Amino acid sequence: MTDEPRDGSGEAGPDPDPPGAARPADGPPGGDDSGTRHDGRSCHDGSRHDRGRYGGTRHDAAHDDAPGAAASRLTGRAAVAERRLSAALAEVTLDGGQVVMVKRGDAPGAVCAEAAGLAWLAEARAVRVPAV
């Protein structure tokens, strides 16, 4: 199976993950309700701060609330392209060509709940999931 490249080269390459293959999520498999994310930060402490923000980011006057700005803050890479897929989801291309999905959380704890759900799906290895 081939995928259309995101680098604009026009050449499709082999799909690194065959249909039905799961990409393992970073960190422990799902089901861990300890409230600790793979980066060691707690999902419970200040969980309301992700309310209506992208990717668990905190908002202040110094930060733009755009998906590209959130991706740049979280990855340390410049965002070179941004495509909104819905009111809550955007695809952001970083300066190295890596494509990341940025999702806006509307409820307290939404970002951590999303990460836990993706880890749970990765553990089942039934569908492809992004690294979190």
pLDDT per residue over 84-100, tens digit each? 999 889 999 999 999 99
Q: What is the pLDDT of residue 50?
A: 45
Its pTM stands at: 0.48
Cβ–Cβ < 8 Å for 81, 6: no
**DSSP states of 41-79:** -BSSTTGGGGTTEETT----TTS--SHHHHHHHHHSS-E
- On the CB side of 109, CA atoms within 13 Å amount to 10
pLDDT per residue over 107-122, tens digit each? 888 878 888 998 999 9
pLDDT per residue over 46-61, tens digit each? 444 444 555 544 544 4
CB atoms near residue 96 (< 10 Å): 9
CB atoms near residue 38 (< 10 Å): 14
